[in-house]
Structure 1
Amino acid sequence: MDTGSYYEPIDDHRYKPTPHASGAWDPAEQHFSPLGGLVVHAIDRHLATRPHDGRSLQALSRISFDILGRLALDECEIQVEAIRPGRTIELIEAVALIADRPVVRARAWLLASGDTSAVAGGAPRELTPPDALDSWPLDSVWPGGYIASLDTRPVTPPQPGRTTAWVSTDLDLVAGEPVSPLASYVALVDTANGIAVRQPPSAWMFPNVDLTLHFHRRPRGRWVGLDTTVVFGPTGQGVTSTVLHDIDGPVGHAQQMLTVRPLRQDQQ
C-alpha cells in the first residue's frame, strides 16, 4: 500500500477508505475503529465552522456509536447537526452513510469546560508506559489492513477475556487534513474488542454492535491505553469493558455490546 492514511478526502463531507481501514472479520468491510475516529473528525470540522455566539468552551464528554449495518470498504459520507443546541451543554448527532444508506449513527454530548483541578480525583492508577514494553503482533490473531497497521504493546501477557495493552499507529486518519488528538484517539479505541478475545475468531464471531465512550478529561498523545475485560453471557450476548488511558493516566471508559455466535462452516 502506498497510502499513509486510513481515509482520503473527496470533498467536505465524503471520504474514501484506503486498504489500511479494512476489517478483521471481512477485508471487504471497514473496521469500525478508524470510522469512529472519522466521525469525530467530522464533528470537529462542523464545530469549527460555527460562530461562537458567546458559547463557553465545550469538551466532547460522551460519544455513543450505533453500528446499523455492514460497513463496506467504500466511499462514505458523514452528516452532522446539533439536535440540542446550548451554550454550556449541547448534543450533536452524526450519521455515516455508505451508498446513501445510514450505517453508523453517533450522538455526542459537549459539556462546558472549567477549572475543577482542586477537586479532581478518583481515577485508577497509571499504566506502565509503552516505551518500556515490547510489541505484540496482533495480526497473528486477526487479519485485515487495520490490524496490520497497529503497534500493540501489552502491559501484561494477554489472557482470554483480559488484556491491558497500548495501541498506536504511524498512519494519519485523513490524508492532508489536520486531525484533532481526540479524533486520532477515538480512531483506535474500538480495537479493545480484539485484544482480549475469549475464543478464537476463526471459530466464533463476537462483533460489537455499538461503542460508547465517556471521558473525564481530554486525551493527548499518540498512544491509546486499553485496560480491557471481555465477558460472554450464556445466551449469545457479551460485553467488552475498557478503562481508557493516555500517557498521562486514565481518561475515561468504553463499553461495547457483543453479539456472540459460532462461525458457520461456510464462514470458516
Structure 2
Amino acid sequence: MPTSSTPEGAYFERIDERRYKPTPHAGGAWDPDEQHFSPLGGLVVHAVEEQRGLTPDRGPVLSRISYDILGRLALDECEIEVETLRPGRTIELVEAVVRIAGRPVVRARAWLLAEIDTSPVAGTPEGRLPAPDTLAPWAMADLWPGGYIASLDVRPVTDPRPGRTAAWVGTPLELVAGAEVSPLAAYLALVDTANGIAVRESPETWMYPNVDLTVHLHRRPRGPWTGLDTTVAFGPSGQGLTSSVLHDVDGPVGRAEQILTVRPQPGRGLPRP
C-alpha cells in the first residue's frame, strides 16, 4: 500500500448530498490556498457515480471524462451537480458542474458505455511498468509545495528527466472522509499529478498549469496505485501538452491529455537564445 509521512486523513469532508469541503491536504502546487485539481477530479467521478447509482459491478462503464477548468479553484466549499445530457441503454453522456461560491469552476462530461464481454479480443501494444513495491520513493514535495503533493507516495521507474518520467503515484488518504469510494474515483483522483512529475522547466521560473484534463479508458483501473508514463512538450507560443499512458498494476488502462498555458513567472522566466 502507498505510504506517506503525512498523517492519514482525507482530501474532502462531506457537508450534504452535493456539497464538500476540501481539507488542507487538497492544497494546490501553484498556490497552496487553491485546490489541486487532481483530488477534485476524483471527487467529480465519485459524485457522478453516486448521483447516477453506478457501482464497480453495475454498468455502464465510464470510458471517457473530460474536465474543463473554468476558474480559480479556491480552497473552499464546493457543490457538484450532475445532469444526464444523452440518456441511453448502451451509450450515455453525463455532465457534472462544480461550483465554488456560486460560480462554475469546473465543467466535466463523461461518456458511459454498456459493459459487454470482449475479453477474446482484448489487448494493448504497451507493456507493464515495473511493480511499485520494487521502486524507491521520490520526495516530490522537494520540488512542489502544497498539501496535495505532500500527501503523495511517488515511485519513479527511473530518475525523472526534463519532460519525461514514468512513475507510480499513491496516497494513504481517503478521497472523502468516511465515504465508500470506488476504485475508479480513487484512481482518477491521482491522474492530474502527471503535469508535475515530468517537469521541463523549474516552477520557480516558469508557470505551466493545465486548463483541462481528458482521460480515455479501455478498461476499469484498479488501485491503490496510479501509474503515469508521461511526456511533456512546450511549444514556441505559450502552449504545452502533458500526455500520459495510464497504468494500474495489471498494465495499461488508457491515456490522459492536459493542455498547458506556459508563461514565465513574473520577473523570473527568460526566453532562451
TM-score range, shorter chain: over 0.9
Alpha-carbon distance between aligned partners in 1 of 2:50 and 2:125, rounded to the nearest angstrom? 31
Taking a change above 3 Å as real, the CA distance of residues 48 and 61 of structure 1, as seen in their structure-2 partners, is same
Taking a change above 3 Å as real, the CA distance of residues 130 and 44 of structure 1, as seen in their structure-2 partners, is same
SS in 2 for 1:191: helix
The answer as to 2:157 corresponding to 1:152 is: no
Alpha-carbon contact 1:123-1:250 (below 8 Å) kept: no
Alpha-carbon distance between aligned partners in 1 of 2:21 and 2:198, rounded to the nearest angstrom? 30
> What is the CA distance between 1:2 and its match in structure 2?
6.7
Within the candidate set 36, 44, 47, 1:39 is matched to: 44
Alpha-carbon distance between aligned partners in 2 of 1:259 and 1:49, rounded to the nearest angstrom? 34
| Structure 2 partner of 1:74 | 76
| Structure 1 segment 135-146 matched on structure 2, within 5 A | 135-146=137-148
Give the partner amino acid of 1:14: R
Taking a change above 3 Å as real, the CA distance of residues 89 and 191 of structure 1, as seen in their structure-2 partners, is same
| Structure 2 partner of 1:21 | 26
Alpha-carbon distance between aligned partners in 2 of 1:49 and 1:231, rounded to the nearest angstrom? 36
Alpha-carbon contact 2:242-2:258 (below 8 Å) kept: yes
Alpha-carbon distance between aligned partners in 1 of 2:72 and 2:228, rounded to the nearest angstrom? 25
- How many residues are treated as equivalent by the alignment? 262
| Structure 2 partner of 1:254 | 256
| Structure 1 segment 79-118 matched on structure 2, within 5 A | 79-118=81-120
Unaligned runs of 5+ in 2: 1-5
RMSD, matched Cα: 1.6
Alpha-carbon contact 1:6-1:34 (below 8 Å) kept: yes
Q: Is 58-67 or 117-126 further displaced after alignment?
A: 117-126
Unaligned runs of 5+ in 1: 51-55
| Structure 2 partner of 1:239 | 241
> What is the CA distance between 1:57 and its match in structure 2?
2.8
Report the TM-score, using the length of structure 1 for normalisation: 0.95
Alpha-carbon distance between aligned partners in 2 of 1:49 and 1:136, rounded to the nearest angstrom? 35
Alpha-carbon contact 1:3-1:18 (below 8 Å) kept: no
> What is the CA distance between 1:3 and its match in structure 2?
6.4
Identity rate, percent:
69
> What is the CA distance between 1:219 and its match in structure 2?
0.2
Alpha-carbon distance between aligned partners in 2 of 1:221 and 1:7, rounded to the nearest angstrom? 19
Cα deviation 1:204-241 (Å, max 9, x = unaligned): 00000000000000000200000000000000000000
SS in 1 for 2:119: coil
| Structure 1 partner of 2:66 | 64
Within the candidate set 122, 129, 132, 2:131 is matched to: 129
SS in 2 for 1:147: helix
